[in-house]
C-alpha cells in the first residue's frame, strides 16, 4: 500500500441542544480534499490512501475506470461527513454509507473508518449490540454452510483468514467487527453480515474499544448536519432498498428537526438526485 494520508483523524463535535438551527452545533466534520492521479494509481489505491471505502470514491466518479484513472486528473476526495447522532458514545455504524464512527467518551471527539458490509441476502442487521470479546490473531469457526467450500471447520490465523488480525465479537454472537485479508472489499457489499475494516484501521479500533462498548447499527441514507449555523444534508444510495421515497424521507427528517422553513427544497432535491455522500449546504 502506498503511503497513507491522515484523512480521518479525530474531530471535535457538538450535537444540537434544541430543535431548529443551533449555532453552537458542529456535526459536519473533516474537510474536502483534492488529489492528482499519478502513474500506476487505481481508485482503490487512492481510496485506501485517504482512508475511504471504494463506494465513497465511486459515488463521485461512477463512470471512471477504477483500474485506469486518467493520470494528471484532479480528483475530489470526500473526507468530510455528517456524523450520526448517538445515544451511547460508543460505536455507530451507518449501513448505507458503509462507515463506522467511534465516539470518544467525555471529550466530544469522534473518529471514523470505512467498512465492508453484508452482501445481498446476507444484509448487516440494524440494532443495538455490545462488544462481548476481543481476539487478536483469531481463528475462524466456519459456518456449516461454508465448510464444504473451505474443506475445514476451523481456519487458523494466517493470511487467508477472512477475520484478519483482529476481531471484536458482538452480542448475541452471530456478527463481528473484524479485519480482512481482502482490502479491496472495504466500501463494498462483501460479507455474510459482519463488518470488515482495513487491516490498519482494525488495529486502531481494537486498541480503542473496550469490552462492553455499545454498538448501534443504523440505516440512514440521509443525514442532516450542522456547522457554523448552517444546515447540511448528506445523501447515500439506499443500498438495501428500504426507503420508498428518499425525498419524502429527507423532508420528514428535516421537519422533525423543525427546519423546513430554514432550508432550500431545490438544494435538497439536488442532493437526493446526485447521492454522492458529500455534505451539502441546504440553508436558505
- Catalytic pick among 55, 167, 194, 236: 194
Burial of residue 155, with CB atoms counted within 10 A of its CB: 0-12 exposed, 13-18 middle, 19 or more buried: middle
Which of 178, 181, 192, 236 is an active site residue? 178
Is 194 considered catalytic here? yes
Handedness of CA 147, 151, 156, 158 (dihedral sign): negative
Active site residue 167: no
Backbone angles phi, psi at 241, to 5 degrees: 65, 45
Helix axes 265-274, 246-256, angle to 10 degrees: 130
What SS3 class is residue 221? coil
**How big is the chain by its Cα radius of gyration, in Å?**
19
Distances (CA, A) of 16 to 24, 85, 160, 171, 281: 7, 10, 45, 31, 17
What nine digits make up the cell of 134?
476481543
- Angstrom CA distances, 281 to 66, 228, 238, stand at 29, 11, 21
The residues carrying an active-site annotation are 178, 194
Amino acid at each position: 500500500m502506498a503511503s497513507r494520508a491522515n484523512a480521518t483523524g479525530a474531530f471535535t463535535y457538538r450535537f444540537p441542544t434544541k430543535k431548529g438551527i443551533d449555532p453552537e452545533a458542529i456535526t459536519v466534520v473533516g474537510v474536502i480534499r483534492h488529489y492528482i492521479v499519478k502513474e500506476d494509481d487505481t481508485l482503490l489505491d487512492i481510496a485506501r490512501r485517504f482512508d475511504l471505502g471504494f463506494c465513497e470514491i465511486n459515488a463521485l466518479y461512477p463512470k471512471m475506470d477504477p483500474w485506469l484513472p486518467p493520470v494528471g486528473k484532479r480528483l475530489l476526495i470526500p473526507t468530510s461527513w455528517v456524523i450520526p447522532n448517538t445515544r451511547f458514545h460508543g460505536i455507530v455504524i451507518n449501513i448505507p454509507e458503509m462507515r463506522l464512527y467511534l465516539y470518544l467518551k467525555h471529550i466530544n471527539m469522534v473518529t471514523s473508518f470505512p467498512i465492508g458490509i453484508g452482501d445481498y441476502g446476507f444484509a448487516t442487521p440494524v440494532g443495538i449490540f455490545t462488544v462481548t470479546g476481543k481476539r487478536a490473531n483469531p481463528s475462524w469457526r466456519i459456518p456449516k454452510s461454508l465448510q464444504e467450500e473451505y474443506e475445514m471447520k476451523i481456519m487458523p490465523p494466517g493470511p487467508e483468514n477472512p477475520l484478519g488480525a483482529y476481531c471484536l465479537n458482538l452480542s448475541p454472537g452471530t456478527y463481528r467487527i473484524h479485519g480482512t485479508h481482502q482490502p479491496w472489499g472495504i466500501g463494498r457489499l462483501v460479507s455474510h453480515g459482519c463488518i470488515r475494516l482495513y487491516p490498519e484501521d482494525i488495529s486502531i479500533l481494537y486498541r480503542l474499544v473496550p469490552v462492553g462498548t455499545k454498538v448501534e447499527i443504523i440505516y440512514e441514507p440521509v443525514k442532516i448536519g450542522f456547522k457554523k449555523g448552517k444546515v447540511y444534508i448528506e445523501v447515500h444510495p439506499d443500498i438495501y432498498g428500504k426507503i420508498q421515497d428518499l425525498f419524502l424521507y429527507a423532508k420528514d427528517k428535516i421537519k422533525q428537526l423543525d427546519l423546513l422553513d430554514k432550508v432550500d427544497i431545490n438544494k435538497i432535491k439536488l442532493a437526493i438526485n446526485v447521492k454522492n455522500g458529500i455534505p451539502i449546504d441546504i440553508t436558505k
